[in-house]
Structure 1
Amino acid sequence: MATKSAANWRIRVVGMVCSLWVLILGPSVLALEEVLLDTTGETSEIGWLTYPPGGWDEVSVLDDQRRLTRTFEACHVAGAPAGTGQDNWLQTHFVERRGAQRVHIRLHFSVRACASLGVSGGTCRETFTLYYRQAEEPDSPDRSSAWHLKQWTKVDTIAADESFPASSSSSAWAVGLHRTGQRAGLRLNVKERSFGPLTQRGFYVAFQDTGACLALVAVKLFSYTCAPVLRAFSSFPETQASGAGGASLVAAVGTCVAHAEPEEDGVGGQAGGSPPRLHCNGEGKWMVAVGGCRCQPGHQPARGDKACQACPAGTYKASAGNAPCSPCPARSQASDPAAPICPCLLGFYRASSDPPEAPCTAFELDLSFSCFLGFLSSLPSLYLPFPSCLLCFLPLLP
């Protein structure tokens, strides 16, 4: 009964350790953002292309923390003739993808409420459209004038969760910003989208305004990567997230740390077969671990499951695994570290059938056998008289 209770206790402990590992792996290994473009805090002219000229204005204003920053604004709906449509384009510089298969874009923007602008006829919008276009090289100067007519891929229509009314002192929100350089009562929206897979050297991003009064406060382009991690005595390198979205996984092959070897496959396979694997999802988070490594004989875990260290002198570990080293059995000693077995002390022995944890025992010779050895040693020199040697065998006689 006691043995069964102890076994159940060990099972519960192993289960708790595994659950703890799942909890640790998720929040502690954060996704890395490799920034490709970021206008946050820019104070000098950014200089993106606009069509038509003046469709978008680049201005310096104070952000919500009263820091000077560059923004792009479009607000041509107020005062425009009825039925006049807007088609204002803003394009970024050429952005190199740097190996990213999928790019994320984070937008900080503000939109005025159409109801406060006094615009009728349904020409006012509280949205804008996001596009991207791949390219192997930046556009040549002679073709840059027609950039808005090229083949763009729509990412999404971006709608404001919050819009704010026009200032009572100004019928046009953009004019109010130009005059004051401040955002009184400004409500910022933050939206994140992604696009890909990307296969060419770089890309452009464009914003199309079709009749909104909006300010593009900050644009950040970045890709997700899974950070390098040590897990289950395996080292996994930094891995680019997939270009096919969050549900798609990229397998990363791990390398066993020093003095570790791949685990058995669970169906009797030998260690040293398939290496461990971990999967990076589209959001830069590790998941779905397959396999792992274990410490080799003569070595025990160190720093959790991050390293394998040699057994200290006086201890041993006979088999591969993640158990700690054990003290040498009685009448044995391991003088050097990393011992897979403790050799017996002089005058003691361990039979070949004995397990490594068995204590060593002394040689014990039978009296008759001792006499027999004495008899054999006397034959060449004839030092012992024959009758005295017969005495050795007297105990053997019936």
Structure 2
Amino acid sequence: MGLFSRNVSVLWIILLEFLLKSVAEEEVLMNTKTETSDLKWTTFSRSKPEWDEVSGLDEENNSVRTYQICQADGSSSHWLRSKLIDRRGASQVYVELLFTMIECSSRITHHRSCKETFNLYYYQSDTDDATASHPAWMENPYTKVDTVAADFLLRAGGEKKPNIKTLRLGPLTKRGFYLAFQAQGACMALLSVRVFFKKCPALTRSLSAFPETVPRSLVQEAVGQCVANAAQPGPNPRPPKMFCGEDGQWVDQPTTTCTCLPGFEASHGDLECRACPAGHFKMGSGPGPCSACPDSSHTGETGSSSCVCRPGFHRAPTDSPDTPCTRPPSSPRSPVPQVNDTSLTLEWSEPLDSGGRSDLSYSVECRMCSTPKSLCVLCGDGVNYRPSQTGIQGRRVSIWGLRPHTTYSFTVMALNGVSALSVPGPAGETINITTSPNVPVLVSGLRKSTATESSLTLLWNTPTQSHYRILKYQLRYCEKERGFEENSCHYMESNVNEVVLSDLRRATQYEVQVRARTLAGYGSFGQAIVFRTLPDEDDSSSPLLVTGILIAVGMLLLIIVIAAAIYCIRKQNHFKDPELSDKNGQYLMGQGVKVYIDPFTYEDPNEAVREFAKEIDVSFVKIEEVIGAGEFGEVCRGRLRVPGKKENYVAIKTLKGGYTDKQRRDFLSEASIMGQFQHPNIIHLEGIITASCPVMILTEFMENGALDSFLRLNDGQFTPIQLVGMLRGIASGMKYLSEMSYVHRDLAARNILVNSNLVCKVSDFGLSRFLQENSSDPTYTSSLGGKIPIRWTAPEAIAFRKFTSASDVWSYGIVMWEVMSFGERPYWDMSNQDVINAIEQDYRLPPPPDCPTYLHQLMLDCWQKERTARPRFSNIVSALDKLIRNPASLKITAQEGAGPSHPLLDQRSPLTPSSCGTVGDWLRAIKMERYEESFLQAGYTSMQLLAHINTEDLLRLGITLAGHQKKILSSIEALAVQNKTPGNVLY
């Protein structure tokens, strides 16, 4: 029980240490609460009052310096700027604000423009060069962080509760930055400002130590090192790495693994490597623990990688250091000889002690003695052993080739893997035998003298021993294919060492053996030698073989010609058959190309989901925030961390609760469609989660969201070549889909997603293309049922529900118009029926402002009434590639009013200031309302003052984007034209 309690205590200590080291650390760059003297921040105001620095008490009654302001005029020109704050290498910092604000309606004299908010800005600088007039007191060159609203307002008789807001600044690139506060008409007090950044604390994990790390991006790589007595395996070790997140939390595990060195084991939860105690060892690097020394070995030191054998015990060279030590076996027991003339059979029993090993074998040593009392010498090569002389696995050996009437000494020895290491050598049992005086002798040297088609002349060596006399020789010869079968072999005797074998078959191999007979009888047959008779000169099979080969070649050529003819005929008929050439619009698939499979063609649509979508463990996913809503549920941003892979952001579509089986199938059908596509301009499916609730679809995360809203947000900020690059990516993705025989049906800028590198990817492959009644996107109920987005749909698809790749090309032309107009609504505010009527009368959308002529012509090609006349997506990709290679062609822009016109489509005249009542109304009308405050602060309070404004004036107002400058100046030029027109009265 005591041991269990100690183990639990150790585990709690390790867990507590891990949790403490995982908590993000904060490093404070500035904290007004800790200042003991005046802050002396810079203030600016075009009118009274100004920000006042006063002393106050915080919630702990400590004296702090605060800034207060109580405006009466509602102006936004009251600024407060801090001193330079050194960022200390951080790229993202956090600002914690503690403030109070009085409710506007509670003030006796409150202005109607009083806002219960204030703006926070920052300005970066490498030097402390800010003055009372530099930088200018306006939004540009400051960077706006956020408009801060109060959660708790002070009112008469109400609770006095301060507001706490934490905001993030970045990315920071210069040495330091200033904070700037802009009041917006409210009475407020800035009680404290704390600026800090988060960093990952020093951490030891998986035997790797990582230093304190400041994140300089979304994920910062940190290089660590192995702890003491640990190293990385492999010939080319790389230092361990981890990633520090921007929130100061360590992300994932080390990318490479450190392991304890030989003689050391991991302890304290893989935080250190501890030496093996005495009597224990660890042979190699790795995660395993130390082990007790094997049998018959020991070690008296700590940190040992092997154990030493005790005296009298050994390890074989092939034994690993973790095997027990062993010793040689004892001698074999009770050898029994059986002598037959000059041959011998020895048998024995196994030794009593095998030495603790299983690799037991035996060897036989032969010595020949001239007389029983003389010195014995080793037997020569003439003595043969079966199965062998050494390495015998059984306990029996046959020996022949001994000399007659000779005394031999045989020693049988038992051996194992360590016998060679023992001193003295292996022990054995020895016996002596004497051979018979008269024995047959072996005949050797059998060879061929001459050969014919039916005979062989053979001869052999005459034995040279003088102590016996050879009476006769006997030959045995057999056809080799039949082997030594008694009914297939023939025998022949000879008194001399030569014989002629006749009546043999032509071109046949024979195995021949010979033996000698003495007074002791026949000896054993010698080694079998193979001889061959000669073949006939006239081989009648050769012409037949040649003839067969020629016939086979001819038949092969005939088959090839027939196959080629059939292929050409079918190919010709294929192109002549109009049914085939227009089977899928005009986009016929070629053979051998992967084709899209509709998941609803499966008897069980869930089978398509399992085939094309990968199931992901829900524990790998972390949902961070909701970013939108889809047809079936919420759309979230999250992180996907699969073990062994780098963590990445994903978009997560969820299926709301209470769904039916049909809704679940419809929801997952989009995954089974997306899972079939692999293209850089098609949204990538990461996987699905169906084993838990809610059911989810995970795709790659596109940082900039939908293309239409992204373009509207960045109106005028991209060059034509950049816009063409986006269009080229969309066309490439659609070309891939058309080649897979997939028809999108709802191609629009809202269904194109944009990542941080401005790469556009086609998305929305599910039933969401059939839009709902309350959708903001215009739809139309066709006579055949279902919802159709009229403004993007081809005429034949509206009228007959004829959706093909050609109808997708029409939709692509509308997407081109959306991109070149920076997200303008196609056909503006026209009704669906008006759009249908205009298209039926061959009216088309005019070119957007500054649209290159080539691009508008390509749009008109996509809007051909006959679908067979529209270009294919492969043609569109080629056309855009030519424009990208020749950027000068993009400078030729379409002229206003060029081409056919129609009152319903004549929406291109610029909105002029004369049609608006105030400067704010005018800026909102041309979608430049973001600059309203800058115009009013610069004194442009009426429309008459706008007539003489120029580019330099716009730069002083902080309007630096060329597209925005051009839009504002174009509208002002229209104002000048109206002033010169008789009868046109301005205000």
| Shorter-chain TM-score range | 0.7 to 0.9
Describe the SS at the equivalent of 1:366: coil
Given candidates 64, 69, 73, the residue that maps to 1:74 is: 69
1:276 aligns with 2:240: yes
Counterpart in 1 of 2:294? 329
For residue 243 of structure 2, what is the amino acid of its counterpart? H
Tell me the distance in 1 between the aligned counterparts of 2:176 and 2:151. Answer: 31
Deviations 1:66-123 (A, max 9, x none): 222111111123xx4xxx5242111000111111111111111111111211456632
CA contact (8 A) 2:76 2:182 kept: no
Equivalent residue for 1:395, pick from 403, 410, 430: 430
Which of 165, 182, 206 lines up with 1:191 in the alignment? 165
| C-alpha distance in 1 between matches for 2:145 and 2:302 | 61
Question: Aligned pair 1:252/2:216, yes or no?
Answer: no
Does structure 2 retain, via aligned residues, the 8 Å contact 1:279–1:286? yes
Aligned equivalent of 2:51: 56
* TM-superposed deviation, 1:354: 2.9
**CA distance, structure 1, for counterparts of residue 124 and residue 56 of structure 2:** 32
Higher relative contact order (Cα pairs below 8 Å, separated by 6+ residues): 1
Tell me how far 1:22 sits from its aligned partner: 10
**Is the CA contact 2:21–2:201 (under 8 Å) kept in the aligned structure 1?**
no
> Structure 2 CA distance, aligned partners of 1:25 and 1:272?
30
The one-letter amino acid of 1:60's match is S
Residue of structure 1 equivalent to 2:266: 301
Q: Distance in 2 between matches of 1:261 and 1:146?
A: 56
1:46 pairs with 2:39: yes
Hey, what's the Cα distance between the residues in 2 that align with 1:310 and 1:32? 33
% identical equivalent positions:
37
Q: How many residues align?
A: 333
Alignment of 1:315 with 2:280, yes or no, is yes
SS at match of 2:145: strand
TM-score by length of 1: 0.75
Q: Is the 8 A contact 2:33 2:193 kept in 1?
A: yes
Quick one: distance in 1 between partners of 2:132 and 2:123?
14
Of Structure 1 and Structure 2, the greater helix share is in 2
Q: In the alignment, residue 145 of structure 2 is paired with which amino acid?
A: V
Work out the CA distance in 1 between the residues paired with 2:235 and 2:259. Answer: 9
How far the C-alpha of 1:271 sits from its partner, in A, is: 6.2
Unaligned runs of 5+ in 1: 1-20, 168-183, 264-269, 377-384
Q: Separation in 1 of the partners of 2:280 and 2:241? A: 32
Out of 132, 136, 145, the residue aligned to residue 144 of structure 1 is 132
| 1:120-162 deviation line (CA, Å, top 9, x unaligned) | 663211111000001011116xx43344436100011111111
Does residue 212 (structure 1) correspond to residue 202 (structure 2)? The answer is no
Q: Would you say 1:30 and 2:32 are equivalent positions? A: no
1:26/1:285 contact within 8 Å kept: no
Please give the alpha-carbon distance, in whole angstroms, between the structure 1 residues aligned to 2:143 and 2:120: 9
Q: Larger deviation: 56-65 or 116-125? A: 116-125
User: Is 2:103 the partner of 1:113?
Assistant: yes
Q: Distance in 1 between matches of 2:161 and 2:35?
A: 20
Match of 1:177 in 2: none
- The aligned residue for residue 311 of structure 2 is 346
Q: Equivalent residue for 1:5?
A: none
Residues 189, 120 of structure 1: CA spacing in aligned structure 2 closer, same or farther, 3 A cutoff?
Answer: closer
| Distance of aligned partners of 1:29 and 1:260 in 2 relative to their CA distance in 1, 3 Å threshold | same
Structure-2 residue corresponding to 1:16: none
Superposed CA offset, 1:347-385 (max 9, x none) = 1012233333322122335379xxx9xxx9xxxxxxxx8
The SS at the match of 1:220 is strand
**Is the CA contact 1:89–1:148 (under 8 Å) kept in the aligned structure 2?**
no
Does the C-alpha gap of structure 1 residues 65 and 24 become closer, same or farther in structure 2, counting only changes over 3 Å?
A: closer
Equivalence for 1:65:
60
Query: Secondary structure of 1:164's match?
Result: coil
Match of residue 699 from structure 2 = none
Matching of residue 358 in structure 1 with residue 323 in structure 2:
yes
**Using the alignment, how far apart are the partners of 1:342 and 1:397 within structure 2?**
44
Please state how far the C-alpha of 1:200 moved relative to its aligned partner: 1.0
Contact 1:262–1:271 (CA under 8 A) maintained in structure 2: no
C-alpha change, 1:89 and 1:148, in structure 2 (3 Å) is: farther
Secondary structure of the structure 1 residue equivalent to 2:113? coil
> Could you tell me how far apart the structure 2 residues matched to 1:134 and 1:257 are?
40
Give the equivalent residue in structure 2 for 1:242: 216
Shift of 1:298: 1.1
Deviation at 1:254, TM superposition (A): 1.8
| CA-to-aligned-CA distance 1:271-323 (integer Å, 9 cap, x gap) | 65333221101111101222321112111113221111221221101121222
Query: In the alignment, which of 72, 77, 80 is matched to residue 87 of structure 1?
Result: 77
CA deviation after TM superposition for structure 1 residue 46, in Å? 0.9
CA–CA separation in structure 2 for the residues paired with 1:275 and 1:258: 14
**Match for residue 252 of structure 2?**
288
Matched position secondary structure for 1:40: helix
Measure, in 1, the Cα distance between the counterparts of 2:175 and 2:375.
Answer: 103
Please give the alpha-carbon distance, in whole angstroms, between the structure 1 residues aligned to 2:156 and 2:235.
70
Deviation at 1:388, TM superposition (A): 11
> What is the TM-score normalised by the length of structure 2?
0.32
Q: Distance in 1 between matches of 2:161 and 2:49?
A: 24
Amino acid aligned to 2:153: S
CA distance in 2, matches of 1:155, 1:166: 31
Higher alpha-carbon deviation: 209-218 or 32-41: 32-41
Q: Could you tell me which amino acid in structure 2 is paired with residue 274 of structure 1? A: R
Structure 1 residues 341 and 272, CA gap change in structure 2 (3 angstroms) = farther
Helix, strand or coil at the partner of 1:115: helix
Aligned partners of 2:153, 2:285: CA distance in 1, in Å?
64
Instruction: Tell me how far apart the structure 2 counterparts of residues 22 and 159 of structure 1 sit (CA, whole Å).
Output: 41
For the structure 1 residues 302 and 25, does the alpha-carbon distance in structure 2 shift closer, same or farther, using more than 3 Å as the test? closer
2:686 — aligned with what?
A: none
State which of 151, 176, 179 in structure 2 corresponds to 1:202: 176
